[in-house]
Amino acid sequence: MNMKKTMIGVLGCMFVSQGMAAQTDSIAATHELKDVVVKATNGIKSKYRVDNADIIGQGQLIRAACCNLGESFVANPSVDVSYSDAATGAKQIKLLGLSGTYVQMLTENVPNLRGASLPYSLGYVPGPWMQSIQVSKGASSVKNGYESTTGQINIEFLKPQGTDGLRANVYQDSELKTEVNLDGSIHLTDRLSTSTLLHFENRQTDHDGNDDGFMDMPKLRQYNVMHRWAYVSPRWISQLMLRGLHDEREGGQSPKHADIFSSEPLYSTSVRTNRYEMQWKNGFTLNADHNTSVALMLHGSWHDAENQFGQTRYDITQKNGYAQLMFETDVTANHNISVGASLNYDRYDERFNPLGTKPNPETSVTGETTPGLYAQYTYKLGEKLTVMPGVRWDHSDRYGSFVTPRLHVKYSPSDIITLRASAGKGYRSPHALAENVTLLASGRDVTVSPDLKQEEAWNMGASVSMNIPMFGKMLELNAEYYYTDFLNQTIMNFDGAKGAHTLSFENLDGKSYSHTFQVDATYPLFSGMAATAAFRLNDVKCTYDGELRQKPLTSRYKGLLTLSYKTPLELWQFDVTGQLNGDGELYDRSRYPAYFQLQAQVTREFRKFSLYVGGENLTNYKIDNPILHSHHPWTSAFDATQVWGPVTGAMAYIGIRYKLEKL
């Protein structure tokens, strides 16, 4: 605790002293590229894409510690990140007011991080490994499959052909979590390059700040390695990626803090995961004048996880294979077509022992093979109009054949305004326990309906983006509205018709929808200073036991304000982010309050390295009792899953980034 107070004190002194010494001048210049506008302070803002997309570049990623993917959306108004429970430290995202299960995750435009990997996937992607993140809202392109309902998040990793040298990032926080990241790349020839990326993180403290006997955060240790090869020639581009991960989390009651006079055994949680991936992408240029190309993408993963929550145990092994063949060409300057075929295979081997009632559970095996075809047409009238309809046909050996239509339209009547609209369907195969394993951190009786249907939803939306000249500078103003309507959905019914202290995964019987409206503005207040303000309203409802009600643990609104300042020589950078998170409902319909969070960071650039120091949750707001009935963990009323806000208080950190240009 003393170390934590000391680091926060040092952080405060540094902000005051350097803030007084800060100089005023121009921030880094804006660079025009073919498809995007790159801004050093705000990352990358999409301009010409037909879909409504935010592109978070490295300039924005380094504005916070960004230890992993889950911490990379601090300054993004569209994506909400929160803890999924108070026992495992897992984080979840929400987009357009809905769970991250309806967001298609891609790694370099290949579907990934699905199914069993979903609950902890935000912690599987180290921040220093990422080159950029693309967040696409609404119906996405049919090229990448049918699983995108509310949008896509595509992660671009550092590429061996784009870097040459050695980089390191070392991080330490006041919770005594240590992270070390190393990556190096070598250009063997002018066409062939290779790189290796390493990540290690470790936290072995058992701090209990609210005196409930449970660790505030689990003990954590992760080893993560990626190895890449790239061959780039005028006619052929080939990229191979191999990856392995070991992740272990130990939480629950701590002998140091729990009631030592209790005769009950200590409640513990344990999650041990091993994951291996292979991804190989090949692109062949057939006619450069017409952008005619053929691409083959292959991906395979093996995911094994052992989960234990008190007496409940859930073990799963998921094997996935994915292949996609694409052909694309410009028929004329205004017309483009893209066609392709894909094949996805999943196998889930699950063993579930709920509350210790099945000491020797049988292994449940679920498999699904889904071949598919797609076609997409794009019409472009200069930079004024783009129309992109697309359709997919897929056949699942579990659910039969289904069709996925999607449409995107972008219209720019002038340089000041751009209008976008999209509509389309999304489908997904539910895997109740694999995708929601963190909900087992309770004493609830869990049941899964044996006939869960394929989830199916329509999504439609519109947005307007404006660049308005104002006082010699440019005001960027965006407004958007999206509506998602479920035809079939797997709902999680807490304490419903099956009784108190129950959780039932069942098919939707009634309506389920979300409305989201968001407005945001970015403006350079003065030389070197940029500000972004955003506000979003959510109306998310679902039918439970015949009654339409607000979806639990979903905030009704969110406000965001970010300030970023760089000194004239770009030696100092100051970043502050404030978030107002709205109120919402708990499972029993009682309400949780709105709360405000503040994060800040100072970065000092040197010739070959940079030093950064910052703080998270500087308002020190946290839930008083994140675990219900924590002193009686073996009863049915015990519940660590109703987490609606921070579970830990203020946290300070310090880190260093080092870069050596050539090996």
> pLDDT tens digits, residue range 203-252?
999 888 888 889 999 999 999 999 999 999 999 999 999 999 999 999 99
Confidence band (pLDDT; 50, 70, 90) for 46? Answer: low
Domain total for the chain?
A: 1
Confidence band (pLDDT; 50, 70, 90) for 163? Answer: confident
Place of tokens 């240790």: 221
CA distance 179 to 223: 10
Q: Is the dihedral of CA 98, 595, 174, 89 positive or negative?
A: negative
15 neighbors 7 (Cβ within 8 angstroms): no
CA distance 197 to 185: 9
Q: What's the pLDDT score for residue 360? A: 86
Two structure tokens written together for 355: 């509350």
- Indicate if the pLDDT at residue 41 is higher than 70: no
Confidence band (pLDDT; 50, 70, 90) for 21? Answer: very low
Angle at 364 between CA 362 and CA 367, to 5 degrees: 160
Range of the domain at 324: 2-660
pLDDT digits (tens, 9 = 90+) for 280-301: 999 999 999 999 999 999 999 9
Distances (CA, A) of 220 to 94, 251, 326, 381: 24, 9, 41, 53
Percent of the chain topping pLDDT 70 = 92
- Indicate if the pLDDT at residue 390 is higher than 70: yes
Per-residue three-class SS string for 201-233: EEECCCCCCCCCCECCCCEEEEEEEEEEEEEEC
Q: What's the pLDDT score for residue 12? A: 41
* Eight-state DSSP code of residue 12: H
Q: What's the pLDDT score for residue 339? A: 99
Q: What's the pLDDT score for residue 519? A: 98
- Indicate if the pLDDT at residue 19 is higher than 70: no
Residue 545 main-chain phi, psi, to 5 deg: 50, 45
Reduced to 3 states (helix: H, G, I; strand: E, B; else coil), residue 404 is strand
Distances (CA, A) of 391 to 139, 400, 488: 12, 17, 20
Distances (CA, A) of 215 to 208, 443, 598: 5, 18, 24
Neighbours of 224 (CB within 10 A): 22
Place of tokens 């899964």: 448
pLDDT digits (tens, 9 = 90+) for 63-105: 888 889 999 998 899 999 998 988 898 999 999 999 999 999 9
Q: What's the pLDDT score for residue 257? A: 72
CA distance 482 to 98: 11
Higher local confidence (pLDDT), 65 or 19:
65
Confidence band (pLDDT; 50, 70, 90) for 17? Answer: very low
Interval 339-364 mean pLDDT: 94
Segment holding 616, helix H or strand E: strand 609-616
Confidence band (pLDDT; 50, 70, 90) for 40? Answer: very low
Angle at 616 between CA 56 and CA 518, to 5 degrees: 45
Q: What's the pLDDT score for residue 59? A: 86
Higher local confidence (pLDDT), 311 or 661:
311
Confidence band (pLDDT; 50, 70, 90) for 663? Answer: low
User: 445-448 and 502-507: which strand pairing?
Assistant: parallel
- Indicate if the pLDDT at residue 11 is higher than 50: no
426 neighbors 139 (Cβ within 8 angstroms): yes
pLDDT digits (tens, 9 = 90+) for 521-556: 999 999 999 999 999 999 999 999 999 999 999 999
Cα of first residue to Cα of last residue in the chain, in angstroms, is 41
pLDDT digits (tens, 9 = 90+) for 591-609: 999 999 999 999 999 999 9
Place of tokens 């009634």: 510
Q: What's the pLDDT score for residue 261? A: 53
- Tell me the average pLDDT of the chain: 91
CA distance 339 to 327: 5
Q: Is the dihedral of CA 15, 82, 249, 64 positive or negative?
A: negative
Two structure tokens written together for 570: 């770009």
Interval 188-212 mean pLDDT: 94
195 neighbors 163 (Cβ within 8 angstroms): yes
- Indicate if the pLDDT at residue 312 is higher than 70: yes
What residues are paired with 230 via a beta bridge? 193, 239
Q: What's the pLDDT score for residue 254? A: 86
- Indicate if the pLDDT at residue 26 is higher than 70: no
Percent of the chain topping pLDDT 90 = 83
Distances (CA, A) of 290 to 137, 301, 331, 333: 29, 35, 7, 8
> 456 burial class (0-12, 13-18, 19+ CB within 10 angstroms)?
buried
CATH number at residue 58: 2.40.170.20
- Indicate if the pLDDT at residue 30 is higher than 60: no
- Indicate if the pLDDT at residue 28 is higher than 50: no
- From the list 179, 60, 164, the residue with the least C-alpha distance to 123 is 179
CA distance 18 to 5: 20
